[in-house]
Amino acid sequence: MRIAGCDEAGRGSLFGPVVAAAVVLNPRRRIVGLDDSKKLAPERRAELAPRIQEHALAWAVAEIDASRIDAWNIYQASRQAMMAAISQLRPLPDFLLLDAIELDLPIEQKSLIHGDARSVSIAAASILAKVERDRRMTEFDLLYPQYGLAQNKGYSTPDHLEALRQFGPTPLHRFSYAPVRESRCWATGAEQAPLPLGV
């Protein structure tokens, strides 16, 4: 069977997209060190990601942007990102391993609590999703340097919350999240962060 693990990164972030990855590992090409991406140092994730991409039978990543997260809610946006990643796999998998979520797909699937710690396929997907999302946050940091996105990855760290209080939210923040909504009141009268070209 072609078993695909699938996971996402960025559900709790206040900024930017949620990113999902799907991976079909090659049972003949064992990758040492796969684990839940949250347990791995950024340098270790950066080492593992290209090895996963090189040795996997198939892999894909997909993202859902902040505006659609606000329109749908983060749970549905995460599901959509996962389904988009799975749909890109070639060949398509015939079984899915998912981290505590179910998808509306005509593919047999199993949802595992703490799946990224229990399944190497889900762990591989979590690493690819996290590495890709961190890369995107580094790109956005160049557009909005005042928010420290390269360091905080858009999460509600003290420096990010202080920047929201001082500058208000950008168009790429998630306005359905309470700290972002509230920051619009804090930043009344402050200069709002500009919309970058091409967004």
Residues 20 and 95 in one domain: yes
Q: What is the pTM of this model?
A: 0.92
Residue span of the structural domain in which 182 resides: 141-186
Summarize pLDDT for 145-187 with one digit per residue, the tens: 999 999 999 999 999 999 999 999 999 999 999 999 998 776 5
Residues 18 and 116 in one domain: yes
CB 126 within 8 A of CB 116: yes
d(CA 98, CA 100): 6
Residues 155 and 79 in one domain: no
Residues 12 and 106 in one domain: yes
Residues 178 and 157 in one domain: yes
Mean local confidence (pLDDT), 110-124: 94
What are the residue ranges of helices labelled H in 56-187? Answer: 66-72, 74-87, 115-118, 120-143, 149-152, 158-167, 178-186
* Residue 199 scores a pLDDT above 50: no
